[in-house]
Amino acid sequence: MNLALIGYGEVGRILAEDLRAAGHAVRAFDVKLQSHAAPALRAHARAHGVALADSHANAVRQAELVVSAVTASQTVAAAQACAAGLLEGSFFLDLNSASPGAKIEAAEHVDRGGGHYVEGAVMTAVPPHRIEVPLLVGGPHAGAVMPLLQDLGFSAKVASGRLGVASATKMCRSVMIKGLEAMVLESFTAARHYGVEEELLASLRETFPGLDWEKQASYFFQRVIEHGRRRAEELREAAVTVRAAGLASWSASATAERQAWVSALADEGVFGPRGVPTFARSPDWRIEADRILEHGRVSEEG
């Protein structure tokens, strides 16, 4: 089968590896192919037999299924850029963490290009599950694409025949999960400053005995450090979703700012070499908290 990946970041590369291992032809495009990240992306593509295209439209021309896995802010732009090259009747699976409104707008571009838009919502972290990550799909073509997704190895379930339901589910979950990440990072780093981290951990273990707070905190710190920018974009889309429901988006908006702030520290080299997208991945969250306390003491109000 001819497949196209729009976005060759963490998710795109994982899907490329699994789809190529199953014998499918994969062509990919990422705007970062014109950036300093290009050599690493090209090396990965060569290693796994993935063809790289020079534009969105050229990536999708022969594809029976297009998977869009870009950052949230690029959801609509990616769909629009792909529309001119879509095969008539091909499926366009949009996995991006965007608001229902953005998904509906993206669908309009795909439909005008002759494709069949399918809303997708990835419901947990991709790396542990890879292509089998739990996935909600929605929209008028969700039922039709299910046999294809199952044959490819996706673990998909139809959320609704109506666009927006799957993404609303994802966005509401994101307020909770990404908010918890931000709260743990803020709480644990402040506790480290005051020297009360052990007391904090003891209290949390008593209140939530089923969680390994040491392990969970280290995981949260590393995910925010490595993917804070992407998470901030996702939370801004979640804030749009919350406001569309008639609520002030206090939690989602604040979480976006915390995630973006940590990402900015990463860009400055606080957690590793400046501009190098690799981090310590310390098994101890305290190491990263100390780095924040040492280098990140800036006024967040400007």
pLDDT at 67: 98
Whether residues 173 and 25 fall in one domain = no
Give the pLDDT score at 226: 87
The domain in which residue 44 lies consists of 2-163
Q: Is the pLDDT of residue 283 over 80?
A: no
Query: Do 134 and 234 fall within a single domain?
Result: no
pLDDT (average), residues 197-206? 97
281 inside domain: yes
Q: Of 117, 133, 163, which residue is a domain's last? A: 163
Flag whether 301 is in a domain. no
Dig out the tokens for 114 from the structure: 């002759």
Using CA atoms, how far residue 93 sits from 108, 119, 154, 195, in Å, is 13, 6, 12, 48
Instruction: Clarify whether residues 174 and 158 are in a common domain.
Output: no
Report if residue 285 sits inside a domain. yes
CA distance 286 to 195: 11
Q: Would you state the pLDDT for residue 273?
A: 57
Residue 285 has pLDDT above 50, yes or no: yes
Answer yes or no: do 181 and 132 share one domain: no
| pLDDT at 274 (0 to 100) | 54
Task: Say what the pLDDT of residue 302 is.
Answer: 43
- Of 122, 148, 163, at which residue does a domain stop? 163
- 163, 181, 216 - which closes a domain: 163
- Predicted confidence at residue 151, as pLDDT, reads 97
CB–CB of 259/183 below 8 Å? no
Q: Are residues 142 and 260 in the same domain?
A: no
Other C-beta atoms closer than 10 Å to the C-beta of 236 total 22
Which pLDDT does position 200 carry in this prediction? Answer: 98
pLDDT band (50, 70, 90) for residue 282: low
Calculate mean pLDDT across residues 141-158.
97
Judge whether residue 165 has pLDDT over 60: yes
33: confidence class by pLDDT, cuts 50, 70, 90 = very high
302 inside domain: no
CATH code, domain with 181: 1.10.1040.10
Residues 112, 204 within the same domain = no
- The Cα–Cα gap between 60 and 115 comes to 11
Residue 252 exposed, middle or buried by CB count within 10 Å (0-12, 13-18, 19+): buried
Q: Report whether 7 contacts 70 (CB < 8 A).
A: yes
Same-domain check for residues 150 and 182:
no
**Are 142 and 172 contained in the same domain?**
no
Domain count, the chain: 2
Q: Identify whether residues 21 and 128 lie together within a single domain.
A: yes
> Tokens 């950052």 appear where?
71
- For 66-124, how does the pLDDT look when each residue is reduced to its tens digit (9 = 90+)? 999 999 999 999 999 999 999 999 999 999 999 999 999 999 999 999 999 999 999 99
Type and span of the H or E element at 84:
none
Let me know if residue 300 belongs to a domain. Answer: no
Residue 61 has pLDDT above 80, yes or no: yes
CATH number for the domain including 75? 3.40.50.720
Q: Is residue 146 part of a domain?
A: yes
Q: Examine the domain organization and report whether 56 and 139 are in the same domain.
A: yes
- Strands 65-68 and 2-6 turn out to be parallel
| pLDDT the model gives residue 275 | 47
Average pLDDT, the chain: 93
Question: Does the pLDDT of residue 281 top 60, yes or no?
Answer: no
Residue at 70 is within a domain: yes
Q: Answer yes or no: do 205 and 157 share one domain.
A: no
Residue 135: enclosing H or E segment and its boundaries? strand 134-138
d(CA 230, CA 59): 23
Residue 47 lies in a domain: yes
What is the tens place of the pLDDT at every residue in 121-139? 999 989 999 999 999 999 9
Q: Is residue 278 pLDDT above 50, yes or no?
A: no
| Residue 232 reports pLDDT greater than 90 | yes
pLDDT, tens digit, for every residue of 238-276? 999 999 999 999 999 999 999 999 989 888 888 865 544
Average pLDDT over residues 217-243: 93
Q: In angstroms, rounded to a whole number, what is the distance separating the alpha carbons of residues 163 and 18?
A: 28
Residue 247: CB partners within 8 Å, gap ≥ 6?
A: none
Same domain for 16 and 158? yes
For 28-80, give the secondary structure using H, E and C: EECHHHHCCCHHHHHHHHHHHCCEECCCHHHHHCCCCEEEECCCHHHHHHHHH
